[in-house]
């Protein structure tokens, strides 16, 4: 079936792009457009053209899956030029999202009409790219370089109303979009003259340049190691300084260099992995979700309160349950205070706060969960307490109610076994703060029913989360790999690295915080207590244990791995900590030496990759992409490196295997040896990506 359909109405050729699901500009659409424009120009009965699209989305941009492959003509810039140079006026009818190349097509048209629900944006920056089909040249000509840079550097779309205010569209069609676009096309044809966007310069002014330069300087500061921000600045500056054709060549050169940059590859991997995560192996579309109209959360602590806020925000009434009225009051006060902070910051209106609060019903006693469609237990990590709660919920709730646990470490199957309906039990592992963090590990128990899993995934999306299915094991995916990094970081200290060196290597890599600064912020007492409770499953962290034993709990006590004099938030090196590390190493007979940042990263991350591969071997995660999005969205792994597994592919699996073998030999720690899957992939020149696709 052709990807572009033409119908002639009132002397106007309406070219409709049909390429479900999102009308991406793959090769068939590109060549279809060129042919359809040529046919319309040749047809003497046609006086103008309208560019429209079928479905909810106008055009989601270039076809991202074509990037990194040999280009197929015609290129998108060629198509865009054909439209701008068309001998008859072309009007874009924007029915929905016009993103990336989709907006670039529209910017080359001679008029633009948007439906009220349309969204316009150039999100290329989020894919490690810059607009590559003239966006950096045409948008500044239409709305000014300052506003255009703001839009392109954030990557966030604007709605139709904002687009109209900025001048990106000529009108919003409240009624029939196509009729309005056809009418505008007829008017342009009748007037006989229309302006090509490339010929415009009316928006450029010294003030506009100043606004752009200020925004560019600020963006550069925030950009860190991401290469596309400087590229975007170059392209927009060229737009201001050079004639259109030369400046367009600057955009093209920067875009082409970025497409093959590892950071863009990594971000494409994350883009597709996030969408792939929605597909649960073995569960088809025929499995329907259970309706969720009412929820209950057990436990009004920080976690339970945050989870209740997620439901309230999504418009789902939620009962927040505690055993004691005092605890409930404290919990509700914390929720109120959180909302008040948002209102003060201007991110929430007072009305929205009142509305959300009205959806959270505080209640004492588990009986209040009786009519909920889903109950999320968020009490502290004690199997006895959880068993009691699930036993009671089994008796109290109606048949079919989903019983979810927010446990971070406990065995979801053991929890399910305390009920007579293990098929209704699932893990919903939220991350703190639950109302902010995007990641949700959905823990599939051995007996979790398919429709319960489908419901949990759908609910996760309704709550604005990125839900990822994981299997039952200690720490699931994220925390299980985090444990390996913690052990590796401690091992590095004993071997000779210092906390600030390890943290600097990690922040230079792109994390916001290093493991030791993070531990100090979280409180060393927390991990210390958790390790004591975990028994033989505890992470080996001799330095953190020794610090905690001295009452050095991190920021809250003014000293941990670092010193925090006078309540400072950034830690300073502490000679006492460094002496303590030296003493612990000496007691173990370890001869300390220094490490380069690259050696530090290898020692920290290779064991995580190894654990990730074991997680895949055991089927705890279905795909390496699932592991990557867990680390990017829950643990601040820098997205532009693609997550631990994609990063490993860039490093080379054979290099990782050799490194792990060396670390295992050096330390005598057999747990560092590469697992069978890693060895097998490295030996056969295989990859995680190929395994995912198989």
Binding site for ligand 3H9 (CB under 6 A): 21-22, 24, 57, 60-65, 76, 97, 99-101, 104, 123-124, 127, 129, 131-133, 135, 272, 275
In angstroms, what is the minimal distance from the CB of 508 to ligand 3H9?
Answer: 28
Rg of the chain in Å (alpha carbons): 28
In angstroms, what is the minimal distance from the CB of 238 to ligand 3H9?
Answer: 16
In angstroms, what is the minimal distance from the CB of 102 to ligand 3H9?
Answer: 7
Nearer to ligand 3H9, 271 or 635 (CB): 271
* Axis crossing angle, helix 515-522 with helix 478-495, rounded to the nearest 10: 110
**Distance between CA 402 and CA 392 in Å, rounded?**
14
In angstroms, what is the minimal distance from the CB of 255 to ligand 3H9?
Answer: 6
Nearer to ligand 3H9, 126 or 679 (CB): 126
Q: Are 578 and 561 in contact (CB under 8 A)?
A: no
Nearer to ligand 3H9, 159 or 508 (CB): 159
Cα dihedral 341, 519, 509, 580 sign: positive
Compute how many other C-beta atoms are within 10 angstroms of the C-beta atom of residue 166. 18
**DSSP assignment of 398-463, as one string?**
PTT-EEEE--SSS-HHHHHTTSS-GGGEEEEEE-SSTTT--EEEEEE-TT--HHHHHHHHHHHHHT
**Distance between CA 225 and CA 243 in Å, rounded?**
30
**DSSP assignment of 147-165, as one string?**
HHHHHHHH---EEHHHHHH
Nearer to ligand 3H9, 68 or 391 (CB): 68
* Contacts of 423-426 spanning 24+ positions with Cβ under 8 A: 423/447, 423/448, 423/449, 423/452, 424/400, 424/449, 424/452, 425/390, 425/452, 426/402, 426/452, 426/453, 426/456
In angstroms, what is the minimal distance from the CB of 220 to ligand 3H9?
Answer: 21
Backbone angles phi, psi at 174, to 5 degrees: -75, -30
Backbone angles phi, psi at 573, to 5 degrees: -60, 145
Q: Are 415 and 387 in contact (CB under 8 A)?
A: yes
Compute how many other C-beta atoms are within 10 angstroms of the C-beta atom of residue 638. 21
Nearer to ligand 3H9, 24 or 403 (CB): 24
Cα dihedral 638, 642, 643, 648 sign: negative
Nearer to ligand 3H9, 263 or 486 (CB): 263
In angstroms, what is the minimal distance from the CB of 22 to ligand 3H9?
Answer: 4
Contacts of 613 (CB under 8 A, 6+ apart): 674, 675, 677, 678, 681, 688
Compute how many other C-beta atoms are within 10 angstroms of the C-beta atom of residue 593. 9
In angstroms, what is the minimal distance from the CB of 77 to ligand 3H9?
Answer: 6
**Distance between CA 14 and CA 166 in Å, rounded?**
26
In angstroms, what is the minimal distance from the CB of 423 to ligand 3H9?
Answer: 28
Query: What is the distance of C-alpha 612 from the center of its chain?
Result: 19
Q: Are 405 and 434 in contact (CB under 8 A)?
A: no
Nearer to ligand 3H9, 60 or 177 (CB): 60
In angstroms, what is the minimal distance from the CB of 500 to ligand 3H9?
Answer: 38
Active site residues: 104, 124
- Which two tokens mark 86? 């068309």
**Distance between CA 315 and CA 310 in Å, rounded?**
9
Compute how many other C-beta atoms are within 10 angstroms of the C-beta atom of residue 351. 9
Nearer to ligand 3H9, 64 or 506 (CB): 64
Nearer to ligand 3H9, 57 or 495 (CB): 57
Q: Is the bond leading into 21 cis (omega within 30 degrees of zero)?
A: yes
Contacts of 369 (CB under 8 A, 6+ apart): 296, 298, 319, 321, 375, 393, 396, 397, 401
Nearer to ligand 3H9, 99 or 495 (CB): 99
In angstroms, what is the minimal distance from the CB of 214 to ligand 3H9?
Answer: 25
């Amino acid at each position: 079936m052709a990807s572009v359909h033409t119908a002639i109405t009132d002397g106007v050729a309406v070219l409709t792009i049909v390429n479900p699901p999102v009308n991406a500009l793959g090769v068939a659409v590109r060549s279809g457009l060129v042919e359809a424009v040529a046919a319309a120009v040749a047809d003497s009965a046609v006086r103008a053209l309208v560019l429209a699209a079928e479905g909810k989305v106008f055009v989601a941009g270039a076809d991202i899956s074509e990037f990194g492959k040999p280009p197929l003509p015609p290129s998108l810039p060629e198509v865009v030029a054909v439209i701008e140079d068309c001998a008859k006026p072309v009007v874009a009818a924007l029915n929905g999202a016009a993103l990336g190349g989709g907006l670039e097509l529209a910017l080359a048209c001679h008029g633009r009409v948007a439906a009220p629900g349309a969204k316009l944006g150039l999100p290329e920056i989020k894919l490690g790219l810059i607009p590559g089909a003239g966006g950096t040249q045409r948008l500044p000509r239409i709305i000014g370089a300052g506003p255009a840079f703001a839009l392109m550097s954030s990557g966030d779309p604007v709605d139709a109303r904002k687009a109209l205010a900025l001048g990106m569209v000529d009108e919003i069609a409240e009624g029939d979009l196509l009729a309005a676009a056809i009418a505008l096309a007829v008017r342009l044809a009748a007037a006989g003259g229309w302006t090509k966007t490339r010929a415009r310069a009316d928006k450029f002014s010294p003030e506009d340049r100043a606004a752009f330069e200020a925004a560019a300087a600020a963006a550069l500061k925030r950009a860190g190691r991401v290469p596309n921000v400087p590229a975007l600045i170059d392209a927009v500056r060229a737009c201001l300084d050079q004639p259109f054709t030369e400046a367009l060549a600057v955009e093209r050169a920067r875009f082409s260099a970025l497409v093959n940059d590892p950071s863009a590859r990594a971000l494409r991997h994350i883009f597709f992995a996030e969408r792939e995560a929605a597909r649960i192996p073995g569960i088809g579309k025929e499995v329907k979700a259970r309706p969720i109209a009412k929820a209950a959360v057990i436990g009004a602590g920080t976690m339970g309160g945050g989870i209740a806020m997620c439901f309230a925000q999504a418009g789902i009434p939620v009962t927040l349950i505690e055993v004691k009225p005092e605890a409930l009051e404290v919990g509700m006060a914390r929720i109120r205070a959180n909302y008040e902070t948002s209102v003060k910051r201007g991110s929430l209106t007072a009305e929205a706060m009142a509305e959300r609060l009205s959806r959270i019903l505080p209640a004492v006693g588990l009986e209040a969960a009786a009519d909920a469609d889903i109950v999320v237990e968020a009490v502290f990590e004690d199997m006895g307490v959880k068993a009691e709660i699930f036993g009671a919920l089994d008796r109290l709730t109606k048949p079919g109610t989903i019983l979810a646990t927010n446990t971070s470490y406990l065995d979801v199957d053991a929890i399910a076994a305390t009920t007579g309906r293990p098929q209704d039990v699932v893990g919903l592992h939220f991350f703190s703060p639950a109302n902010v963090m995007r990641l949700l590990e959905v823990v599939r128990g051995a007996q979790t029913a398919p429709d319960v899993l489908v419901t949990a995934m759908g609910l996760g999306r309704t709550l604005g989360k990125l839900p990822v299915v994981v299997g039952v094991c200690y720490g699931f995916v994220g925390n299980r790999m985090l444990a390996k990094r913690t052990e590796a970081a401690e091992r590095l200290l004993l071997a000779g690295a210092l906390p600030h060196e390890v943290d600097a290597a990690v922040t230079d890599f792109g994390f916001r915080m290093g493991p030791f600064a993070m531990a100090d912020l979280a409180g060393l007492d927390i991990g210390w207590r958790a390790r004591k409770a975990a028994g033989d499953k505890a992470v080996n962290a001799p330095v953190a244990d020794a610090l905690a034993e001295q009452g050095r709990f991190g920021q809250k006590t003014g000293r941990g791995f670092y010193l925090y004099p006078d309540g400072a938030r950034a830690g300073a090196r502490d000679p006492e900590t460094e002496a303590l590390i030296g003493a612990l190493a000496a007691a173990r007979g370890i001869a300390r030496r220094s490490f380069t940042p690259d050696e530090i990263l290898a020692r920290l991350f290779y064991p995580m990759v190894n654990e990730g591969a074991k997680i895949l071997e055991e089927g705890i995660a279905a795909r390496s992409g699932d592991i990557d999005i867990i680390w990017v969205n829950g643990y601040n792994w820098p997205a532009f490196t693609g997550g631990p597994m994609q990063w490993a592919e860039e490093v080379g699996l054979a290099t990782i295997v050799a490194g792990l073998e060396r670390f295992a030999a050096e330390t005598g720690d057999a747990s560092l040896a590469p697992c069978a899957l890693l060895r097998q992939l490295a030996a056969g020149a295989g990859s995680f990506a190929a395994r995912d696709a198989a």
